[in-house]
């Protein structure tokens, strides 16, 4: 075997490409329904776009190198910094709120495993310039509607919802959770579901938290559902205010009829440091796969990158985990037969008339194919069927004499003679 794709990179054979296209088409369709406009940026960006925001360690996970002009560049690992730059540059001119989406191919140099490659396509939807919770609800609704558009209902997926402002308010009721140490608590909470309790306690003790603080953190982690969270918030000084946005988001989603998908869970934190409020993830119910989609509110990022003060909320949804889930649910896309007709020449003297007919039909936008060698009709029909053509148009000496073609329905096997004048116009019956 001579060569193969680099590790973590995919070849898309026609059936894979059809599947990918069907995912993209659904993404675009839902984005359109929500009034989003599509944009794109360069796949190659200045390295600093990522290092400035994410810290130098992430360079280890970037496809980064020096170009021939000595510039340090990187293949984009995420779309948000590019979006921030683009919006920042025209922030004055763009009518707010901005609703934009993109389907970039993103790259990351990491060891691949299931659901995580070195390259993937990711739908990004963002609302920029609206600080209120209606924007958060709108995006969460879009994420859920995408799942629904793929035939995934509340029995297949669930949306886990949290809010960092709520989490902060609850944590701060304990004196040991303050300032930088809240970040540590975030980090631990993010992993609390994946680790056993002993491991979690060990990490907290290493970070100098005492038994009462650890107890408090587990208390917060165990709060499930909005009622439990609200009850707890009422016992904090700034609690009710911190919970306002979360309540508004849940209310809006309820009004849209999406409550059965939504579950408040404070252990959803998201790894990225720049989230400031709402955070959410879409999961398969069985929780066998990684998150299908993740996002949240990041109100300070554009100011950091472009200097404009614009609140944002957005999410990313990759094609890899989603594709795995769809395949599991047997919703794998079958490549559609794209031909309208397969033209069959009975003998060598029929080839030129078939070519002529093919050219005329193609001019009319009709998709046709014919055998590239002289073959028995048997072979030509076999190819026609394999290509998924709905019908074969057979032309032989008898047909030419009678100025007709035999149109054979390849599904039913029924055939009839149709005048050539009609066939030439793409009328096959």
- The residue ranges that bind RNA (CB under 7 A) are 1, 7-8, 61, 77-79, 106-108, 110-120, 122, 191, 194, 270-272, 290-291, 294, 316, 318, 320, 346-347, 376-379, 381-382, 384-386, 394, 396-399, 406, 408-413, 415
Q: Which is nearer to RNA, 169 or 189 (CB)?
A: 189
In the structure encoding, which two tokens stand for residue 401, read together? 């004499």
Residue (85 or 290) nearer to RNA, CB: 290
Given the DSSP bridges, would you call strands 368-370 and 404-409 parallel, antiparallel or unpaired? unpaired
Tell me, what DSSP letter sits at residue 426?
Answer: T
Shortest spacing between CB 292 and RNA, in angstroms: 11
Q: Cβ of 267: how many Cβ atoms within 10 Å?
A: 19
d(CA 422, CA 418): 7
Task: Tell me the closest approach of the beta carbon of residue 25 to RNA, in angstroms.
Answer: 21
Q: Supply the minimum distance, in Å, between the C-beta of residue 30 and RNA.
A: 19
Yes or no: say if 35 and 124 are a contact pair by the CB < 8 Å rule: no
Q: Whose CA is closest to 343, among 392, 390, 415, 382? A: 392
CB of 277 vs RNA, minimal distance in Å: 15
Cβ neighbourhood burial of 200 (10 Å; 0-12, 13-18, 19+): buried
Residue with smaller CB distance to RNA, 120 or 174: 120
C-beta of residue 154 within 8 angstroms of C-beta of residue 192: no
Whether omega before 414 lies within 30 degrees of 0, making that bond cis, reads no
Comparison of 105 and 251: residue with beta carbon closer to RNA: 105
Q: Residue 373 contacts by C-beta under 8 Å, 6 or more apart in sequence? A: none
Of 76 and 174, which has the nearer Cβ to RNA? 76
- Minimum Å gap between C-beta 241 and RNA is 28
Nearer to RNA, 158 or 174 (CB): 158
**Least CB distance to RNA at residue 222 (A):** 21
Q: Smallest gap, in angstroms, from Cβ of residue 278 to RNA? A: 15
Q: Among residues 174 and 380, whose Cβ is nearest to RNA?
A: 380
| SS3 state at 368 | strand
d(CA 75, CA 69): 16
């Amino acid at each position: 075997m001579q060569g193969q794709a680099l590790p973590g990179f995919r070849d898309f054979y026609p059936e894979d490409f059809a599947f990918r296209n069907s995912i993209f088409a659904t993404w675009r369709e839902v984005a359109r329904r929500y009034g989003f406009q599509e944009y794109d940026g360069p796949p190659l960006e200045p390295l600093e776009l990522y290092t400035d925001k994410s810290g130098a360690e992430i360079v280890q996970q970037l496809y980064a190198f020096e170009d021939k002009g000595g510039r340090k560049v990187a293949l984009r690992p995420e779309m948000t910094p590019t979006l921030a730059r683009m919006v920042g540059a025209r922030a004055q001119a763009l009518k707010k709120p901005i609703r934009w989406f993109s389907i970039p191919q993103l790259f990351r140099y990491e060891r691949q495993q299931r659901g995580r490659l070195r390259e993937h396509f990711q739908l990004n939807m963002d609302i920029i310039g609206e600080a209120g919770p209606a924007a958060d609800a709108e995006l969460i609704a879009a994420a859920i509607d995408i799942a629904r558009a793929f035939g995934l209902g509340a029995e297949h997926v669930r949306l886990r919802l949290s809010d960092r402002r709520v989490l902060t308010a609850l944590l701060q009721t304990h004196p040991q959770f303050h300032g930088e140490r809240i970040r540590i608590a975030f980090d631990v909470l993010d992993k609390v579901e994946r680790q056993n309790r002993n491991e979690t306690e060990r990490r907290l003790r290493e970070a100098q938290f005492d038994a009462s603080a650890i107890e408090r953190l587990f208390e917060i982690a165990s709060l499930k559902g909005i009622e439990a969270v609200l009850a707890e918030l009422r016992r904090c000084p700034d609690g009710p205010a911190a919970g306002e946005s979360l309540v508004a988001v849940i209310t809006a989603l309820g009004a849209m009829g999406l409550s059965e998908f939504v579950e408040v869970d404070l252990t959803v934190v998201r790894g990225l440091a720049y989230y400031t409020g709402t955070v959410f993830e879409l999961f398969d119910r069985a929780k066998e796969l990684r998150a299908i989609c993740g996002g949240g509110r990041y109100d300070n990022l554009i100011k950091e990158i472009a200097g404009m003060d614009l609140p944002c909320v957005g999410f990313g949804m990759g094609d890899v985990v989603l594709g795995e889930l769809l395949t599991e649910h047997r919703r794998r896309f079958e490549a559609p037969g794209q031909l309208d007709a397969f033209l069959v020449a009975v003998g060598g003297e029929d080839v030129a008339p078939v070519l002529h007919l093919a050219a005329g039909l193609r001019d009319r936008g009709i998709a046709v194919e014919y055998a590239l060698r002289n073959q028995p009709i048997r072979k030509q029909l076999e190819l026609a069927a394999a290509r998924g053509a709905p019908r074969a148009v057979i032309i032989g000496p008898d047909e030419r004499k009678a100025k007709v073609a035999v149109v054979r329905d390849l599904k039913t096997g029924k055939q009839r003679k149709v005048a050539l004048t009609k066939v030439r116009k793409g009328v096959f019956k």
